[in-house]
A and B are shown apart, each in its own frame.
Chain A
C-alpha cells in the first residue's frame, strides 16, 4: 500500500515541479508549488514524520504560499517575457543538471548500500511529543536564535514594504 502511495505522490511531485518550471504565468507556478508541497507532506507521513508533515501543510502550503499568491495578485504579475538567455546557460545548463542528477543517483545507489526499506508505521519517532522534547532540551539555543531571526525578519519585511512618509 505504501509503495503505491509513494509512486503516486512521487509522480505528482515531479510533474508539479516540472509544471512549475515550464508554466509562464506565475500563478500557475504557485499552484504547482502547492501540489509539490502537498505531495511532499504525504511522503513525510510515509516516513513517519507526522509533525513535520503537518507543519509542511500549515507553514508551506498555508502561510508561505498565501504570501506568494498575495504578492502575485498585488503586483498583477502577468506572463513573463521569454527574453534572451546567456549562451552558457543555453548550451551547458541542461547537460550539467543531468550530470548532477546522475552523479547523485550513482552516489546514492553505490555509497549507501544499507538503506532500510520504508514501511509505514515501523518507526513512529516524529510525533509532536518527541519533537518538543528534543527542541526544548538539546536544541534550545538554536530554537531561541531562530526566534530572534524571525523577529528580525518581521521587522525587515515591515521596513521594506512600508510606504514612504513624505
Chain B
C-alpha cells in the first residue's frame, strides 16, 4: 500500500466553510419553515467543525467546550423553534414562509 500523506488541517476548515455556505444557501432559497430550520442546524454544525479543527491545531480543549455549548444551545433552540412552528401551523395552516407576512409593510 503506498504511503498517503496526512490531511492538512486547512481542508477541514475549507469543508466547514463550504458546509456553512450551503447552509446559508438553504436559508436564503428555501420556502418551508422546517427546511430553513434545518439549514440553520447545518450552519451550526459547520461552525462546530471549525471549533474542533482549531482546538486540534492549538492542542487546547476550549474549542471542544465551546462546541459542546453550541450543541446544547442548538438543542434548546430546536425545541423552542419547533414549538413556534407548531403554533404557526395551528394559527395559519401553512408552512410556507412567504405566506406568513402579516408584519410586512
Contacts and interface: CB of A to CB of B under 8 A. Distances in A.
Interface in A28-72: 29-30, 33, 36-37, 40, 43-44, 47-49, 51-52, 55-56, 59-60, 63-64, 67-68, 71-72
A80 B52 contact: no
A116 B57 contact: yes
**A-side interface mostly:** helix
A52 B22 CA distance: 23
Contacts of B8: 115, 117-118
Contact of B38 (A20, A93, A94): A20
B42 A118 contact: no
A68 B5 contact: no
Contacts of A130: 61, 64
Given A52-B67, A59-B75, A134-B62, A2 B80 contact: no
Nearest to A143: B69
A3 to B, nearest CB: 5
B21 A101 contact: yes
Contacts, number: 234
Nearest to A146: B72
A81 B33 CA distance: 12
Interface in B75-100: 75-80, 82-87, 89, 95-96, 98
Interface string A87-103: 00100011001001100
B72 A29 contact: no
B25 A97 contact: yes
A80 B35 CA distance: 10
A80 B25 contact: no
A30 B35 CA distance: 8
28 contacts: A2-B6, A3-B7, A10-B15, A20-B42, A21-B25, A26-B35, A30-B38, A43-B12, A47-B55, A49-B67, A52-B67, A59-B72, A75-B95, A100-B21, A108-B17, A109-B10, A115-B8, A115-B13, A116-B56, A117-B5, A118-B6, A118-B9, A126-B55, A126-B61, A131-B61, A135-B65, A153-B76, A157-B80
